[in-house]
A and B are shown apart, each in its own frame.
Chain A
Amino acid sequence: MYTYEKERPVLEDRGIREVKGKERYRAIFDAVPVNIRKMIGGLSPEDMDGIEEFRLKAGAPFIVYGKNQSAFITQNGSLTRDRHKAYAVTREDTEKALQLMCDCSIYSIVDELKEGYITIRGGHRVGVVGKVVTEGGSVKTIKDISGLNIRVSRQVIGCGSGLMPRLVRGKESVYNTLIISPPQCGKTTLLRDIIRQLSDGVPALGFFGLKVGVVDERSELAGCYRGIPQNRIGIRTDVLDACPKAQGIMMLIRAMSPAVIATDELGRVEDLAAVEEALNAGVNIITTVHGWNTEDVLRKPVIGELLRTGVFERVVVLSRRRGPGTVEQVIDVEKKQNEKGFGGS
Chain B
Amino acid sequence: MIIKLFGCLIIMACSTSGGYLLAIGYTRRVRELRVFQQALQVLESEILFTSTPLPQAVLQIASRLDRPVDRLFGLFGHILEQRVGHTAGEAWNMAIDGTRDLLCLDREDIDIVRSFGQNLGSTDKENQEKSFRLVKYQLETQLRKAEDKRNKNEKLCKNLGFLLGAALVTLLV
Instruction: Contact check, B87 vs A96: say whether CB atoms are below 8 A apart.
Output: yes
Q: A99-B121, A103-B80 are in contact. Are A108 and B52 (CB under 8 A)?
A: yes
Bound complex: CA A180 to CA B84 (Å): 42
- A294: shortest Cβ distance to chain B, in Å? 44
Can you list 10 A-B contacts with CB-CB less than 8 angstroms, sorted by A residue number?
Answer: A99-B121, A102-B53, A103-B83, A104-B54, A105-B47, A105-B51, A106-B123, A107-B124, A108-B51, A110-B125
- A132: shortest Cβ distance to chain B, in Å? 13
Q: Given A33, A37, A107, which contacts B121 in the complex, CB threshold below 8 Å?
A: A107
Q: In the complex, which residues 53-109 of chain A have their Cβ closer than 8 Å to any Cβ of chain B?
A: 96, 99-100, 102-108
Residues of B within 8 A of A106 (CB): 121-124
| Residues on B facing A (Cβ under 8 Å) | 47-48, 51-55, 80, 83-85, 87-88, 91, 120-125, 128
Instruction: Contact check, B85 vs A107: say whether CB atoms are below 8 A apart.
Output: no
Bound complex: CA A46 to CA B48 (Å): 44
Bound complex: CA A107 to CA B83 (Å): 18
Bound complex: CA A32 to CA B86 (Å): 10
Instruction: Contact check, B91 vs A104: say whether CB atoms are below 8 A apart.
Output: yes
Residues of B within 8 A of A103 (CB): 53-55, 80, 83
Instruction: Contact check, B128 vs A107: say whether CB atoms are below 8 A apart.
Output: yes
Instruction: Contact check, A30 vs B83: say whether CB atoms are below 8 A apart.
Output: yes
- B129: shortest Cβ distance to chain A, in Å? 9
Instruction: Contact check, A104 vs B51: say whether CB atoms are below 8 A apart.
Output: no
Bound complex: CA A37 to CA B85 (Å): 9
Bound complex: CA A104 to CA B48 (Å): 14
Q: A99-B121, A110-B124 are in contact. Are A104 and B85 (CB under 8 A)?
A: no
Instruction: Contact check, B122 vs A226: say whether CB atoms are below 8 A apart.
Output: no
Residues of B within 8 A of A141 (CB): 124
| Majority-rule SS of A interface residues | helix
- B30: shortest Cβ distance to chain A, in Å? 31
Q: Given B53, B84, B85, B91, which contacts A105 in the complex, CB threshold below 8 Å?
A: B53
Most chain B CB inside 10 Å of its own CB: which residue of A96, A99, A105, A110 = A105
Residues of A within 8 A of B48 (CB): 107
Bound complex: CA A6 to CA B162 (Å): 71
Instruction: Contact check, A108 vs B53: say whether CB atoms are below 8 A apart.
Output: yes
- A345: shortest Cβ distance to chain B, in Å? 50
Q: A96-B87, A99-B87 are in contact. Are A226 and B123 (CB under 8 A)?
A: no
Residues of B within 8 A of A273 (CB): none
Q: Is A34 an interface residue (CB 8 A)?
A: yes
Known contacts A99-B87, A104-B80; 9 additional CB pairs below 8 A are A32-B85, A33-B85, A99-B121, A100-B87, A103-B55, A104-B120, A107-B123, A110-B124, A110-B125
Bound complex: CA A103 to CA B86 (Å): 10
Residues of B within 8 A of A107 (CB): 47-48, 51, 121, 123-125, 128
- B126: shortest Cβ distance to chain A, in Å? 9
Instruction: Contact check, B83 vs A105: say whether CB atoms are below 8 A apart.
Output: no
Q: Which residue of B lies closest to A34 (CB)?
A: B85
Q: Which residue of B lies closest to A98 (CB)?
A: B122
Most chain A CB inside 10 Å of its own CB: which residue of B48, B52, B85, B120 = B85
Instruction: Contact check, A99 vs B88: say whether CB atoms are below 8 A apart.
Output: yes
Instruction: Contact check, A104 vs B125: say whether CB atoms are below 8 A apart.
Output: no
Bound complex: CA A33 to CA B87 (Å): 9
Instruction: Contact check, A104 vs B121: say whether CB atoms are below 8 A apart.
Output: yes
- A84: shortest Cβ distance to chain B, in Å? 27
Bound complex: CA A30 to CA B86 (Å): 10
- A242: shortest Cβ distance to chain B, in Å? 14
Instruction: Contact check, A99 vs B122: say whether CB atoms are below 8 A apart.
Output: yes
Residues of B within 8 A of A99 (CB): 87-88, 121-122
Instruction: Contact check, B121 vs A105: say whether CB atoms are below 8 A apart.
Output: yes
Bound complex: CA A316 to CA B120 (Å): 49
Bound complex: CA A104 to CA B52 (Å): 11
Q: Which residue of B lies closest to A141 (CB)?
A: B124
Residues of A within 8 A of B91 (CB): 104
Residues of B within 8 A of A102 (CB): 53
- B54: shortest Cβ distance to chain A, in Å? 5
- A230: shortest Cβ distance to chain B, in Å? 15
Bound complex: CA A25 to CA B125 (Å): 30
Bound complex: CA A318 to CA B91 (Å): 48
Provide the A13-34 mask, 1 if CB < 8 A to any CB of B, else 0: 0000000000000000010111
- B120: shortest Cβ distance to chain A, in Å? 8
